[in-house]
A and B are shown apart, each in its own frame.
Chain A
Amino acid sequence: MLTMAMPKGRIFEEAVELLRNAGYQLPPEFDDSRKLIIDIEEENLRFILAKPMDVPTYVEHGVADVGIAGKDVMLEEERNVYEVLDLKISGCYLAVAGLSDGPIKGVAPKIATKYPNVASNYFRQQGEQVEIIKLNGSIELAPLIGLADRIVDIVSTGRTLTENGLMETAFIEPITSRFIVNPVSYRTKDAIIDDMVERLSAVVEGESADENR
């Protein structure tokens, strides 16, 4: 049996659709179940439903063999897992935003973010000295009420930023979801994982070919 860690929330529906397109028979009640562990015996698969940020953790420790995780999470967590396939779903990007795009004033500019590791790496690469403040959500609030000068967050449409009077000041990098694999499972369950990768990549490449047409 192969255990797959799935991210709850935003990415979940797209991930399930992708698996269905790849020929995995997932029952309809799969989509709105509240269970955290779902066994699909016909496919010899077990799904565990985790917080998106935790998916690479389950996979690294080997309690899940494979998982679906956003590149943002991979960058933040830096887990020891194989990033095998770009699933090209849930596209968005990491960006810096603020009230204006002028130079940051003050001695020690503050950056609010859910991604302290990503933010710190980015500003180090830019040669900028900043102080990071970790928040767990509603990051846009921070510059509005003076907690931080800038935020680092994922942007999909940019609507949340605009509605709160914020503007993007720098693009960091594009984000999509990735198929990730535990390093031991990658070798001990190679046949079943290779099959899954092949089926998923056929769907992914088929769809991107459609887009290019």
Chain B
Amino acid sequence: MTRPFVFEKPLGMRDTLPVLYDLKTSIREKIQRVTEGWGYRFMNTPTLEYYETVGEASAILDQQLFKLLDQRGNTLVLRPDMTAPIARVAASSLKNEPFPLRLAYDSNVFRAQEDEGGKPAEFEQIGVELIGDRTTSADAEVIALMAAVLEEAGLEDFQIAIGHVGFIQELFLSIVGNEERAAVLRRYLYEKNYVGYRQHVREMPLSTIDQKRLMALLTIRGDGSKLEEAIELLPNEAGERVLNELRTLLHTLKAYGVSDQVKFDFTLVSHMSYYTGVVFEGYANNLGVPLSNGGRYDELLERFDRPAQATGFGIRLDHLAEALGVTDHERLPNAIIFSPERREEAIQQASERRADGEKVVVQELSGITNLDAYSERFEDVTYLIGKSGKGM
């Protein structure tokens, strides 16, 4: 590689300039307030983790991990998500805390560089984990909280798609018989390749009825009424169990008042392989990528020796900020511009106004190169210039 220009940053890294920082801060504060209101406790984990533990548990593809070596030769990763580190904490430092645990985080996570714009290598994620609760009430709670948080952040128009990894798995196993063949079908769904999925289903030695069931999976999506169609795909005990779960979920979401934004879509398969049950994604109407996602992961905690069922969501703050739009409404500070004779007065006045919560810059006149351009950067400017002020 050629030597970078002085202004260059590593691929995929971004600066957050004051305007965006303000917007993010205001979103962050709102989200934190709501999340804390639901009794979730915020926490931090280290930026670096061992590759062998959190790195491998994270389910982010290996080539998307930033890896480095510490001085002792251990492989480390920049945390690629927060769910695995929080699972680690829940199973170690917090192992004496009784379940269910309600934890929240607001942290930057890292995914190794992509060549193209619009895919940052470092981004901020805000989310919650509800650990040690297997009930559908817990699934409903995190979905409802996600909706509450998006609404509070100011997003007017959003939708949530809900799927169920268990349903797909039971359907595939009941038709194709073994995990290996089910994995092939799952892979087509994960790759979003419906053409390949259909072709594969047509080529499999299956009865017409089973082929139809597999094909119908692609088209069953919509509101709660679609749940009743889904039972025809999987008319056995497992199917009934999953659908009862989803009925209860929908019912509970109605109680939270968020059922209008919700649609069911059984083809929703996350790239996160640790999900085991309900999965969901949040979308804004004006954004081409999902805002947030989450789901139930009942097997992840086992990897850290404290088996527990859990669910949670994460919101990408960069995507949310984009969906909300950077407001032109910059919140600029005020300024006091003074000449040396009135320095003390300026400092005095500023400290009084700051005590009242005002944002005040104190600037000596002779330090400014272009007064017109400079004063435009403030909401309001007070000039304390010349001898007259003192003692009056």
Contacts of A194 in B (CB 8 A): 219
Contact status A84-B289, CB under 8 Å: no
Contacts of B198 in A (CB 8 A): 86
Contact status A82-B288, CB under 8 Å: no
Contact status B193-A184, CB under 8 Å: no
Q: How far is the CB of A61 from chain B (nearest CB, A)?
A: 5
B196 at the interface (CB under 8 A from A): yes
Total contacting residues, chain A, CB less than 8 A: 20
Contact mask for chain A residues 186-207; partner B; CB cutoff 8 A; 1 contact, 0 none: 0110100010000000000000
Contact status A178-B288, CB under 8 Å: no
Contact status A184-B283, CB under 8 Å: yes
Contact status B192-A80, CB under 8 Å: yes
16 A-B residue pairings within 8 Å (CB atoms): A60-B288, A61-B118, A61-B288, A82-B192, A83-B195, A83-B196, A84-B194, A85-B195, A178-B195, A183-B290, A184-B283, A187-B159, A187-B161, A187-B281, A190-B221, A190-B222
List residues 226-264 of chain B with CB under 8 A from any CB of chain A: 263
CA distance A82 to B198 in the complex (A): 13
Q: How far is the CB of A60 from chain B (nearest CB, A)?
A: 7
Contacts of A83 in B (CB 8 A): 192-196
CA distance A188 to B265 in the complex (A): 12
Contact status B195-A63, CB under 8 Å: no
Q: How far is the CB of B64 from chain A (nearest CB, A)?
A: 13
List residues 88-139 of chain B with CB under 8 A from any CB of chain A: 118
Nearest B residue to A184, CB-CB: B283
CA distance A83 to B118 in the complex (A): 22
Tell me the B residues contacting A by CB distance below 8 Å: 118, 159, 161, 192-196, 198-199, 219, 221-222, 263, 265, 281, 283-285, 287-290
Contacts of B222 in A (CB 8 A): 190
Contact status B265-A82, CB under 8 Å: no
Contacts of B196 in A (CB 8 A): 83
CA distance A187 to B279 in the complex (A): 14
CA distance A187 to B160 in the complex (A): 9
CA distance A82 to B159 in the complex (A): 18
Contact status A188-B159, CB under 8 Å: yes
A91 at the interface (CB under 8 A from B): no
Given A86-B199, A184-B283, A188-B283, output 20 extra A-B contacts at Cβ < 8 Å: A60-B288, A61-B118, A61-B288, A62-B289, A80-B192, A85-B195, A86-B195, A182-B288, A183-B192, A183-B289, A184-B287, A184-B290, A185-B288, A187-B159, A187-B221, A187-B263, A187-B281, A187-B283, A188-B159, A194-B219
List residues 121-148 of chain A with CB under 8 A from any CB of chain B: none
4 closest Cβ pairs, A-B complex: A62-B288, A82-B192, A86-B195, A184-B283
A152 at the interface (CB under 8 A from B): no
- Partner pick for B287 among A62, A80, A82, CB 8 A cutoff: A62
CA distance A41 to B222 in the complex (A): 27
Nearest B residue to A87, CB-CB: B195
A112 at the interface (CB under 8 A from B): no
Contact status B288-A63, CB under 8 Å: yes
CA distance A82 to B118 in the complex (A): 19
Contacts of B281 in A (CB 8 A): 187
Contacts of A63 in B (CB 8 A): 288
Contacts of B194 in A (CB 8 A): 82-85
A81 at the interface (CB under 8 A from B): yes
Q: How far is the CB of B158 from chain A (nearest CB, A)?
A: 9
Contacts of A178 in B (CB 8 A): 195
Contact status B192-A184, CB under 8 Å: no
CA distance A61 to B287 in the complex (A): 9
CA distance A84 to B161 in the complex (A): 18
Nearest B residue to A71, CB-CB: B195
Contacts of B118 in A (CB 8 A): 61
Residue among A60, A84, A188 with the highest chain B CB neighbour number at 10 A: A188
CA distance A85 to B196 in the complex (A): 9
CA distance A190 to B290 in the complex (A): 15
Contacts of A184 in B (CB 8 A): 283-284, 287-290
Q: How far is the CB of B142 from chain A (nearest CB, A)?
A: 19
Nearest B residue to A194, CB-CB: B219
Nearest B residue to A85, CB-CB: B195
Contacts of B192 in A (CB 8 A): 80-83, 183
CA distance A104 to B195 in the complex (A): 35
Q: How far is the CB of A200 from chain B (nearest CB, A)?
A: 12
Contact status B263-A190, CB under 8 Å: yes
CA distance A187 to B263 in the complex (A): 8
Contacts of B290 in A (CB 8 A): 183-184
CA distance A102 to B219 in the complex (A): 48
Contact mask for chain A residues 39-83; partner B; CB cutoff 8 A; 1 contact, 0 none: 000000000000000000000111100000000000000001111
- Partner pick for A188 among B199, B219, B285, CB 8 A cutoff: B285
Nearest A residue to B161, CB-CB: A187
Residue among B195, B265, B283, B290 with the highest chain A CB neighbour number at 10 A: B195
Nearest B residue to A59, CB-CB: B288
Nearest B residue to A84, CB-CB: B194
Contacts of A190 in B (CB 8 A): 221-222, 263
Nearest B residue to A60, CB-CB: B288
Q: How far is the CB of A87 from chain B (nearest CB, A)?
A: 9
CA distance A183 to B194 in the complex (A): 13
Residue among A86, A178, A183, A184 with the highest chain B CB neighbour number at 10 A: A184
Nearest B residue to A64, CB-CB: B288
Nearest A residue to B160, CB-CB: A187
Contacts of B284 in A (CB 8 A): 184
- Partner pick for A187 among B195, B199, B219, B265, CB 8 A cutoff: B265
Q: How far is the CB of B289 from chain A (nearest CB, A)?
A: 6
